[in-house]
């Protein structure tokens, strides 16, 4: 078999290749006719060869080659079996079932009474070849090699800078020296001790060990706790489960890391960053801006304008799509202004019934109307006196009230309903709208004089899709907020971050905030993944090619076919023909046609969305 790759199972049971192997026992080769029969297992003093049992099958499942380990394991003679179907070569039902199965490409099966890792892989060449590898689960290493391995493992544990503990659900098995250095607890006090016998009242770290082992054994997943020792140092205690083949916790490996130095280093970096900003001639950031995300150039320019405008009393008109944060910017203007200790009154003009708007805005005196309170009521204008009045969605105001609002802004005074005297005001007005007020003026739906009275300092807030640099910082900020609120410790996965950054966010910042909260409260794992997203966002990411969905419960071959199908469909739709699609995908034209046919793709339908056809 010229050019046939050598295959073996790694420690995780995965099939890997090794072109550099030269041993006849390890290399998968056809047996020559002059080759002697392989010894049968159990014959006298003959010993079964150590290594993976390797067989090669053609597309008809005929045996093309076999190595000596496979011959011994299956009790077959290669000279009698080459060219014959595997079903005629062995009667082991577990092996035949695994070969014909569409399930996992790697699993544990029982072959002739011995448990083995079984793995299948296809090799492309002039003829497609299927490689079958069987590796004993409990393969024994020579005694000398076993002792050497134990010494090497012990040396690695003892020389680790982090504290490491190996235990099962009942007893501590191994503790390295670094654990004692970090915690102040001698390792000898823990080795061979029962977990429940650890004195959690004297040492914080021992209480953390008991808790993290209990949680890990219960949930069967990695758990991390943060604790502060009596010495004042802070530690991370991370417990990783080691599962057996029945998916039960066999061992736990605990890593104890001192993060005190890391925190000191973080503080130093923050100080250096502050010094650098001062050395660059930039003023330190105002306290009110610390919770404002402005990584994009447009947001930075907007914040610079806000800081200048906040120092004067000019009327500000904020415009932008719904959910971009116009109310946040309005409050920021107020907090940065000299009026920050006075009232900030906000009203959504579209949320108050029209028949109540005037009484809410202006207030009323006693007896002004039938249901009026005996003592009267001050309006929102009076409540905002000395401070800031924010008119959100000002485009929803009816025309008759627009006239009265214009007079209040011009005269800085108002009169309650039923009153005979005006009340003097000192108010800074900020208005906001997600509608095009200029267009409304042209259509006669908004007064032109009021528009220009509001349009003194216009500030436009770009939608989130036009300032993608802000998406991930906002997501991280919201994640921290909801982790604190719900007592969780979620983190963003890499695939999820890519999707968040590429999504169009029609609901802008408000939608992003809601999505992060939903992920925090509904996800079934600490790391938030693409599968936790709402279907609408998830599906858009798949359609745009940001995320390639290969489905769940698929074996490797099915996942690869799903991914290839999506990539070919996208390339054909984008280019309109198979030749340009092959260039885009970096493969031969014939490969695209052959794979499309094998995957059942209709080439004509797939290229209809493209600019041209073949």
- Half-sphere exposure at residue 405, Cβ-oriented, CA atoms within 13 angstroms: 31
Sign of CA dihedral 168, 170, 174, 177: positive
* pLDDT band at 124; cut points 50, 70, 90: low
149, 134, 163: which is closest to 237 by C-alpha?
163
Which of the two residues, 231 and 486, has the higher pLDDT score?
486
> Does pLDDT of 408 surpass 50?
yes
- SS3 call for 270: helix
* pLDDT band at 30; cut points 50, 70, 90: very low
> Does pLDDT of 432 surpass 60?
yes
Could you report the per-residue pLDDT of 518-527, keeping only the tens digit for each? 999 999 888 8
> Does pLDDT of 336 surpass 60?
yes
Tell me the mean pLDDT in the region 401-409.
Answer: 93
Q: Report the alpha-carbon distance of residue 569 to residue 602 in Å, rounded.
A: 9
Q: How far is CA 277 from CA 297, 394, 610, in A?
A: 17, 39, 50
Could you report the per-residue pLDDT of 535-569, keeping only the tens digit for each? 888 776 655 554 445 455 556 676 677 777 777 87
Q: Report the alpha-carbon distance of residue 285 to residue 276 in Å, rounded.
A: 13
Q: What mean pLDDT is reported for the chain?
A: 78
pLDDT score recorded for residue 544: 57
Could you report the per-residue pLDDT of 213-250, keeping only the tens digit for each? 888 888 888 888 888 887 778 888 899 888 877 778 88
Could you report the per-residue pLDDT of 33-73, keeping only the tens digit for each? 333 333 333 333 333 345 678 888 887 888 888 888 888 88
Tell me the mean pLDDT in the region 108-125.
Answer: 76
Tell me the mean pLDDT in the region 322-328.
Answer: 93
pLDDT score recorded for residue 454: 94
Which of the two residues, 527 and 158, has the higher pLDDT score?
527
> Does pLDDT of 76 surpass 60?
yes
242: which strand partners? 251
Tell me the mean pLDDT in the region 283-310.
Answer: 81
Cβ distance 102 to 555 under 8 Å?
yes
Q: Which of 183-187, 358-362, 566-570 has the highest mean pLDDT?
A: 358-362
Which of the two residues, 535 and 139, has the higher pLDDT score?
535
Q: Report the alpha-carbon distance of residue 67 to residue 307 in Å, rounded.
A: 77
Which of the two residues, 432 and 102, has the higher pLDDT score?
432
* pLDDT band at 413; cut points 50, 70, 90: very high
Q: Report the alpha-carbon distance of residue 339 to residue 147 in Å, rounded.
A: 77
> Does pLDDT of 614 surpass 90?
no
pLDDT > 90: percent of the chain: 26
Which of the two residues, 125 and 490, has the higher pLDDT score?
490
Continuous segment of H or E residues that includes residue 457: strand 457-460
pLDDT score recorded for residue 101: 73
Tell me the mean pLDDT in the region 276-304.
Answer: 71
Strand locations in 214-280 (E): 223-228, 234-243, 249-258
């Amino acid at each position: 078999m010229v050019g046939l790759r050598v295959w073996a199972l790694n420690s995780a049971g995965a099939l890997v290749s090794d072109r550099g192997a030269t041993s006849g026992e390890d290399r998968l080769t056809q047996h020559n006719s002059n080759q002697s029969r392989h010894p049968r297992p159990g014959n006298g003093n003959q010993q079964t060869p150590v290594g993976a049992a390797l067989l090669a099958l053609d597309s008809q499942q005929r045996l093309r080659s076999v190595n000596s380990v496979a011959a011994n394991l299956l009790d077959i003679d290669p000279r009698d079996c080459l060219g014959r179907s595997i079903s005629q070569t062995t009667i082991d039902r577990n092996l035949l079932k695994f070969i014909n199965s569409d399930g996992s490409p790697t699993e544990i099966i029982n072959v002739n009474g011995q448990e083995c890792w079984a793995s299948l892989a296809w090799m492309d060449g002039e003829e497609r070849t299927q490689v079958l590898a069987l590796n004993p689960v409990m393969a024994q290493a020579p005694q000398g090699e076993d002792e050497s391995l134990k010494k090497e493992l012990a040396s690695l544990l003892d020389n680790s800078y982090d504290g490491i503990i190996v235990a099962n659900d009942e007893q501590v098995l191994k503790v390295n020296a670094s654990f004692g250095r970090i915690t102040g607890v001698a390792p000898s006090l823990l080795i061979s001790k029962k977990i429940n016998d650890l004195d959690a009242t004297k040492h914080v770290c021992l209480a953390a060990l008991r808790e993290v082992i209990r949680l890990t054994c219960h949930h069967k997943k990695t758990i991390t706790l943060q604790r502060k020792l009596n010495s004042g140092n802070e530690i991370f205690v991370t417990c990783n489960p080691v599962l057996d083949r029945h998916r039960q916790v066999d061992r736990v490996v605990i890593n104890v890391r001192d993060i005190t130095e890391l925190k000191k280093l973080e503080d130093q970096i923050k100080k250096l960053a502050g010094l650098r900003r001062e050395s660059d001639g930039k003023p330190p950031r105002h306290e009110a801006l610390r919770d404002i995300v402005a990584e994009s150039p447009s947001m930075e320019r907007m914040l610079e304008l806000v800081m200048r405008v906040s120092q004067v009393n000019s009327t500000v008109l904020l415009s932008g799509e719904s959910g971009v944060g116009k109310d946040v910017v309005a409050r920021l203007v107020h907090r940065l202004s000299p009026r920050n200790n006075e009232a900030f009154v906000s009203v959504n003009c579209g949320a108050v019934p029209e028949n109540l708007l005037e009484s809410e805005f202006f207030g009323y005196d006693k007896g002004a109307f039938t249901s009026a309170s005996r003592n009267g009521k001050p309006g929102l204008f009076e409540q905002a006196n000395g401070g800031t009045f924010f008119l959100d969605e000002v485009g929803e105001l009816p025309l008759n009230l627009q006239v009265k609002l214009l007079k209040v802004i011009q005269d800085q005074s108002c009169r309650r309903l039923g009153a005979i005297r005006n009340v003097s005001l000192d108010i800074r007005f900020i208005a906001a709208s997600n509608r095009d007020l200029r267009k409304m003026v042209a259509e006669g739906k908004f007064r032109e004089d009021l528009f220009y009275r509001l349009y003194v300092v216009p500030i436009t807030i770009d939608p989130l899709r036009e300032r993608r640099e802000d998406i991930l910082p906002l997501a991280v900020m919201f994640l921290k907020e909801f982790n604190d609120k719900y007592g969780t410790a979620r983190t963003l996965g890499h695939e999820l971050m890519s999707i968040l950054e590429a999504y169009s966010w029609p609901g802008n910042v408000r939608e992003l905030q809601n999505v992060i909260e939903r992920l925090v409260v509904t996800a079934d794992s600490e790391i938030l993944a693409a599968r936790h997203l709402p279907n609408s966002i998830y599906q858009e990411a798949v359609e745009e090619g940001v995320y390639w969905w290969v489905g769940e419960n698929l074996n490797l071959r099915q996942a690869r076919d799903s991914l290839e199908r999506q990539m070919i469909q996208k390339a054909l739709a984008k280019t309109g023909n198979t030749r340009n699609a092959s260039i885009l995908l970096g493969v031969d034209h014939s490969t695209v046609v052959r794979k499309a046919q094998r995957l059942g793709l209709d080439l004509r339908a797939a290229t209809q969305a493209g600019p041209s056809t073949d």
